[in-house]
Amino acid sequence: MPSLDPKSLSTSKLHGYLLSAVAPRPIAFASTIDANGKPNLSPFSFFNVFSANPPIMIFSPARRVRDNTTKHTLKNAEITKEVVINVVNYGMVHQMSLSSIEYPEDVNEFEKAGLTMLKSDIVKPFRVAEAPVQFECKVNDIIKLGTEGGAGNLIICEVVKLHIDDEILDKNDAIDQRKLDLVARAGGSYYSRAKEGFFEIPKPISQLGIGVDSFPEHVKNSMILTGNDLGMLGNIEALPSKTSVNNFVEHVGERYPNIKTATHREKHKLAHNYLSFGDIESAWKILLS
């Protein structure tokens, strides 16, 4: 495995490593206006949400690596202290990409990308009507991380109003991630469509899980069970009782008649199968039988 000193790499090479390894990243489709009220629209993948109380989002228009210039978005945010952050779903990803072209300052990217300008309620920049969620924000602060090409500029935004399309809400008024259909940015020209890769992991229990260090040695050092298997097995409060293990073995005896005499390896394979269906309790009972 190569071990690299960032200072030994060119900025463009390091930039490529960072963007490819830290991925996928959410996209802030940032709408601003200049001092004369002319709209600007540009996407940024150095972006995330950092606080709910107060509601804070941060995105970073970095200085261009090739020539150390900055985006119009940064200049506008510095002057007007307002921005709308729109989320990007699959239905508008190509329009979003088109808007990222470095058009001259007086060009309206909404028009170039064929997107609809929607008047905001509180701030002056326009919302993207096609975006399923739009956040009107005040700029609280801008932190410049450097003066050379590749340096970021953290625009700290406080959400003052949010707009959510009814079509992406479930019966509990929560956002349905599949209906939202977000896209995310990776390295090079790669993007990912979030809903195609969704899977669920039960949140760790409120009580302390036993952890891998509490496992029997043959389980902890298994050559069959994966790291994910061990993580699932460690998220329980206590191992099954001997009585429950014996009852389970009797119950599955017809399906697995040799379970009582099976080797550790055979039990681990069977437990791995149960874990693939999320059945942690049965997996443990097999491992302890």
Span 33-78, pLDDT tens digits: 999 999 999 999 999 999 999 999 999 998 888 888 788 999 999 9
- The residues pairing with 82 across neighbouring beta strands, listed in sequence order, are 138
Q: With residue 140 as reference, give the H or E element that holds it.
A: strand 133-144
Instruction: Give the span between the Cα atoms of 266 and 257, in whole angstroms.
Output: 13
Say if 252 falls within a structural domain: yes
Task: Note whether 149 and 67 are within 8 A (CB).
Answer: yes
- Is residue 133 located within the same domain as residue 269? no
What average pLDDT does the segment 202-224 reach?
85
Assess whether 192 and 217 both reside in one domain: no
Cβ-contact 151, 46 below 8 angstroms: no
* Amino acid letter, 51: S
State residue 205's pLDDT score.
Answer: 66
Distance CA 86, CA 131 (A): 6
- In terms of domains, do 156 and 265 share one? no
Mean per-residue pLDDT of the chain: 92
CA distance 212 to 210: 7
Q: Residue 171 belongs to what domain range?
A: 6-197
pLDDT level of residue 253 (50, 70, 90 thresholds): low
| Boundary of a domain, candidates 147, 166, 197 | 197
Tokens of residue 188, six digits: 């090079």
Confidence at 206, pLDDT banded by 50, 70, 90: low
Which pLDDT value is given to residue 46? 96
- Taking residue 16's Cβ as centre, other Cβ atoms within 10 Å add up to 15
Mean pLDDT, residues 220-237: 92
Q: What is the pLDDT of residue 150?
A: 85
* H-run or E-run covering 72: helix 72-80
How many Cβ atoms from other residues are within 10 Å of residue 247's Cβ?
Answer: 13
pLDDT at 81: 98
Shared domain for 193 and 221, answered yes or no, is no
Q: For the segment 115-155, what is each residue's pLDDT rounded down to a tens digit?
A: 999 999 999 999 999 999 999 999 999 999 999 888 899 99
Structure tokens that stand for 6 in this block: 């960032």
Same domain for 87 and 230, yes or no, is no
pLDDT single digits (tens) 71-118: 899 999 999 999 999 999 999 999 999 999 888 888 999 999 999 999
User: What gap in Å lies between CA 13 and CA 273, rounded to an integer?
Assistant: 42
Exposed/middle/buried for 1, CB within 10 Å: 0-12, 13-18, 19+?
Answer: exposed
Q: Model's pTM, two decimal places? A: 0.83
The reply to whether 159 falls in a domain is yes
Kindly state whether residues 170 and 241 are assigned to the same domain: no
CA-based R_g, the chain, Å? 26
The pLDDT tens digits of the residues spanning 209-219 come to: 889 998 999 99
Same domain, 187 and 261: no
Mean pLDDT of 192-218: 84
> In terms of domains, do 169 and 257 share one?
no
**DSSP tag of 162:** E
63 plus 141 within the same structural domain: yes
Query: Residue 95 region, left (φ>0) first, then alpha (ψ -120 to 50), else beta?
Result: alpha
187 and 140, same domain (yes or no): yes
Question: With the CA atoms of 231, 232, 238 and 242 taken in that order, what torsion angle do they form, in degrees rounded to the nearest 10?
Answer: -120
Q: Which CATH number do you get for residue 42?
A: 2.30.110.10
> How much is the average pLDDT of 142-169?
95
Q: Do 132 and 274 share a domain, yes or no?
A: no
Tell me how far apart the alpha carbons of residues 120 and 135 are, in angstroms, rounded to a whole number: 9
Q: With contact defined as beta carbons under 8 Å apart, do 149 and 63 qualify?
A: yes
Q: With respect to residue 18, please indicate whether it lies within any of the assigned structural domains.
A: yes
Q: Do residues 158 and 224 share a domain? A: no
**Structural domain includes residue 251:** yes
Residue 203 counted as domain residue: no
CA distance 256 to 3: 48
* Residue-level pLDDT at 2: 87
- The structural domain count of the chain equals 2
